[in-house]
Chains A and B, each alone.
Chain A
Amino acid sequence: MAQTKALIGADASVRSSNIWRGQTRSGDWVLQPDLYVAATGSKLSLAAAWWSTIELQSLSAESGDTGLGQAWFGQNDLSLEGSADLSPLYLRGGFVRYAFADGAFGQTADAVGTNEIYLDAWASLGAFVPRVAVWHDVGRVKGAYLETGLDLRVPVLPSRAPIVGMYLSSLAGWSLGQHVDDSRSDDSAYFSDAGLTHVDLGLDIRVGSASRYVTVELHFLIERDEGARGSDTGTSGDSWWFGLGGSDAWILGVF
């Protein structure tokens, strides 16, 4: 039955590192929760979300974005996102406000907070899911970043209860304008050079229902850009990261 639902949803993932655009913002364990409210129809949805990264070892000298002695919350993002189901093509796009803690990128919070608009599109074509996403910074950095990916579904169960989605994933990040150049100093750029920033290869597993599921992620990160603004304790070079998460959503009302 076609109907519009009001939802509240939450996700929480524990990850071995805080990886952002191929850069290891924290090499220690992080908790990354989010909370959103949304209105969803059969084809379209609109959501307002808060996402954060909490560095679980932030009181140690090894902390990353939070900086020594800072709060656990290394980053808080607020977003407004619309999405469309044009099966087998799917789109989402919106606006996101990045609010970093003091110490992120070795700078004050006011110095690094910024805004981006983004568009993310993928298609579910048999066992393959090609994807392209572009972010454009409309705040301090004023440049674009592109991600391209191709995932391969590994068949596990043709079952709706539980739904099992297992993918071998590959992703490449590209700086199209968020790197150091003549118009931008390394204070405002994220990457050292234009072009390929990193490659991420992974195994992603999701098990559960469409709205309530657990996520297991195992990824290998190949960094190709040293980063223009490093975290004070961020790592560089090729690395593994692992994540375990859960997602749930509750219907507030049906209209």
Chain B
Amino acid sequence: MNRAASGSAAVVAFLIASCAPYTVDLPAPASPEPTPPAQPGLQAGFGRADITPPPGLGIQAYGPSGSVANGFRTRLYARAVFLEDADGERVALVALDLAHASVLLHRNVAARTLETGIGADRLLLGATHTHAGPGHFMSDEAINKYGPARPGFDPAVVDFLAERITRAVREAAADMRPAVVGWVQGQVWGLTRNRSMTAHRMNPEVPGRPVPPPGLPEDQGAIDPTWTLLRIDTIDTAGDTIPGAAISVFGFHATGNPAANDLYDGDVPAIIERDLEQYMDALAGATPTHAPRSVHLFFNGSEGDASLVGMSRSACPPAKQLRGVRPGGPRSPRSNDYWKGPSAAPASECVQQARQLINGAGDSLAAHARDLYREAGSRLTSDVAVGRAFRSYDLSAERPEGLCPEPVIGRGSGGGAEDGKSALYDWRIFGFVDIEAREGVVDEDSQDCQAPKKSLHWLLKLLVGPLALSETLQLQVVRVGDLLPAGLPAAPTAEVGFRIRDAMLESAAGSIDVHGAAVVGQSNGYVQYLATAEEYSVQHYEGGSTLYGPGSAGALEAVIADLVATLPDGGEALVLPLTVEPGKPHHIFPEAEESAGAGRGPLRVESSGCSRDTAVVRWHDDRPGTLLPSDGPILELARTDGPGGDVSVWDDDREVEIRALGSRVGRGYLWEARWTPPAGTSGRYEATFLRWSGPGNTREWECR
């Protein structure tokens, strides 16, 4: 080959490589055969890992309309419960304060927890669906590109999350003690509502569904009110039970934080989780210094069409496209446009209002959790069998009967949900090409497998490029005594949840002693939504986001029922090798400085004081990436001589906001803590900086 031809070949090879999708082959870590434990009876262990990333990542789930994280409000955690029965059958259930649980995460964690006997088939990884967690770790390019405020896939985020989630599982595995469990299912009405009533009304009336109390608005009665709570106590050497963990399954969209929010936050589930954890700690006599010792795993249930009452992210105005200014000279090209959302500044009224709504809704729901927890205390038993069944699919090769061959996003999806319209809603390209990105757009004449879904407009696809969607599927059933939680990699609507639960109980009848089932959405992957065929027919947001056509919910229901049927024989465990296309890697996760902490001078507090209802302290510290919030507490704040008595908090408190403000050349990085103490700001304050040891790591000030 001559030089020119060689060069051409190299160029062609480069172009092919550039155009080829970036694929990641995932491990297929199937669990080892269980071995009977040394101790008889049920064993349980609990673990917790902080997964709060450093500022700088895009917040997941509001897409380009969202914000890049500048810090955190409540910390994000992975909470783990490890259960093992007398036969050595074990499962690890892990709840993540994240928007989703990707296949990438699930398989990466499972590969690291094999030593504990937990492979992919025995690991249930569920997400709370907070809309204030980080992005960049999903398995499909479309979500990595259009899910977080800052587009792109970053393997470093996957590694960060997987490593810490693994810590939680290992901690739980190392904590195994004799245990008892008990579960209850209660109904919670009046706090959630169906946001997609037009679609929901398409479902036929089914006898036996929960009946809402009289006088409840129709949309509030059209949800799944079932709250499943599993209580796990350990047994000490004296034979007493010690509260230590709870697992909740309840369905609603954790969209309390608006798109303008610039802080990581666990949203409403974080309030529910912490409240019950503090309650359990109090019962157990535990007095942890910072994070609660107990763990409350909150799993989202049939949340597809469920929103919290009064919670609307439309409280903040939408972002605007502006022509800005850029550096250069008088004849440099003009700047490209940019998008400016509502101010993410701490004083942003709509964001602060949303946080108050989060706290209020969280407190109301937490009260129900406490009631259910107490009720479950009367049903504790150690005579519990543990099991699982698991099946994975590479949908490009084989798919359950009823699923369409290709995933397709509908126009009903593009415009967003009824209470959360996207920037694309009703958009007209060039001002006149209606791309019909709104709910209710159908193609009546289509005979396609996806009918009546209308795919997103070709012009939109041309402009934004290919939308690689998930082509993997992982379904799971876990058995804890006579309760069957099912892990579903999607957001099922209320009616889908009912049908799957009915199918599970029907499948179990006569073969295993089961009295309850729960659907854990957002688990082990993400294929977006699951609407019933009836709901799908009107192509609202949930139907438009049901990627594999009208038969999707029915098909998955059948697979789940099949998996339940395998439980008496030990449970199916089909862990296939999978390949995903998350998009080309980007460097988004802030890197640590090599000289982290080296030569760091004494702590330098820049300022402290009060502003309106908030106490504020600013200090110089390491830059994000070197300072990892997940490495431990950053600061404590205390007030004395204030109204209502003395009060102290640490940086995980829901009334504390931590932000990275910016670099200070030669003086580290400027951070800020804002605390809204109860009943006004007057009093004497003390901030203790926990990363700084020795005298001088505190700052005192007074506000009147």
Contact = CB atoms under 8 A, between A and B. Distances in A.
B323 A165 contact: yes
A11 B56 CA distance: 27
B338 A210 contact: yes
Contact of A83 (B325, B338, B624): B325
A155 B322 contact: no
Contact of A32 (B320, B321, B331, B661): B331
A163 interface: yes
Interface in A74-118: 77, 79, 81, 83-85, 87-88, 90-92, 94, 96, 118
A159 interface: yes
A245 B428 contact: no
Contacts of B660: 1
Interface stretch (A44-52, A181-189, A218-226, A234-242): A44-52
Contacts of A208: 336
B431 interface: yes
Interface in A118-144: 118, 120, 122, 124, 126, 129, 135
Interface stretch (A33-41, A64-72, A193-201): A33-41
B64 A160 contact: yes
B339 A163 contact: yes
B260 to A, nearest CB: 14
Interface in B282-338: 320-338
B463 to A, nearest CB: 5
Contacts of B397: none
Given A165-B337, A247-B333, A90 B325 contact: yes
A157 B134 CA distance: 24
Contact of A155 (B146, B149, B428): B428
Contacts of A166: 430
A253 B340 CA distance: 24
Contacts of B333: 11, 13, 206, 215, 245, 247
A129 B323 contact: yes
B427 interface: yes
A124 B323 CA distance: 6
Contact of A79 (B321, B325, B329): B329
Given A153-B321, A163-B337, A47 B151 contact: no
B145 A161 contact: yes
A34 B145 contact: no
B502 to A, nearest CB: 41
Given A213-B336, A247-B333, A47 B321 contact: no
Given A11-B328, A96-B330, A160 B151 contact: yes
Contact of A157 (B145, B429, B659): B429
B424 interface: yes
B70 interface: yes
B423 A163 contact: no
Interface string A1-16: 1111001010101000
A31 interface: no
Given A36-B328, A47-B329, A122-B323, A160 B339 contact: yes
Given A13-B333, A204-B334, A156 B327 contact: no
B663 A254 contact: yes
Contacts of B321: 153, 158, 163, 165
A46 B325 CA distance: 12
Nearest to B64: A160
Contact of B464 (A3, A83, A157): A157
A172 interface: no
Nearest to A169: B334
Contacts of B146: 161
A146 interface: no
A92 B340 CA distance: 20
A164 interface: yes
B64 A159 contact: yes
Contact of B64 (A3, A50, A156, A161): A161
Contacts of A120: 330
Range, interface on chain B = 35 or more
Nearest to B66: A160
Contacts of A176: none
Nearest to A213: B336
B336 A163 contact: yes
A40 B663 CA distance: 13
Nearest to A8: B327
A7 B332 contact: no
Interface string B399-428: 000000000000000000000000110011
B329 A156 contact: no
Contacts of A46: 327
A193 B347 CA distance: 54
A215 B336 CA distance: 9
A76 to B, nearest CB: 11
B427 A158 contact: yes
A36 B329 contact: yes
B577 to A, nearest CB: 31
Given A1-B661, A84-B325, A210-B336, A156 B331 contact: no
Nearest to A75: B331
A85 B335 CA distance: 12
Contacts of B338: 163, 210
Contacts of A126: 320
Nearest to A92: B325
Nearest to A79: B329
Contacts of B56: 1
B463 A81 contact: no
A249 B331 CA distance: 16
Given A83-B327, A87-B340, A206-B336, A155 B431 contact: yes
A153 B424 CA distance: 16
B55 interface: yes
A206 B330 contact: no
A149 B38 CA distance: 82
Question: Which of B323, B460, B661 neighbours the largest number of chain A CB atoms within 10 Å of its CB?
Answer: B323
Nearest to A82: B327
A163 to B, nearest CB: 5
Given A160-B64, A206-B336, A40 B431 contact: no
Nearest to B660: A1
Q: Which of A157, A167, A208 has the most CB of B within 10 A?
A: A157
Contacts of B151: 160-161
A154 interface: yes
B429 to A, nearest CB: 6
B431 A158 contact: no
Interface string A22-62: 00000000001010101010000111011100000000000
Nearest to B55: A1
B431 A34 contact: no
A18 to B, nearest CB: 10
A49 B328 CA distance: 6
A85 B331 CA distance: 19
Contacts of A40: 327
A72 B100 CA distance: 57
Nearest to B662: A3
B16 interface: no
B664 interface: yes
A248 B567 CA distance: 58
Contacts of A249: 326-327
Interface string B148-167: 01010000000000000000
Contacts of B4: none
A154 B662 contact: no
Contacts of A45: 325-327
Nearest to B424: A158
B458 to A, nearest CB: 14
B665 interface: yes
Given A157-B463, A163-B337, 12 more contacts: A11-B332, A34-B331, A47-B328, A83-B326, A96-B330, A124-B322, A129-B323, A153-B323, A162-B464, A206-B336, A210-B324, A255-B664
| 4 pairs of A and B residues whose beta carbons are closest in the complex | A49-B329, A38-B327, A165-B337, A160-B64
15 contacts: A2-B662, A3-B662, A3-B663, A83-B327, A85-B325, A87-B322, A90-B324, A158-B424, A159-B423, A160-B151, A160-B339, A161-B145, A247-B333, A247-B336, A249-B327
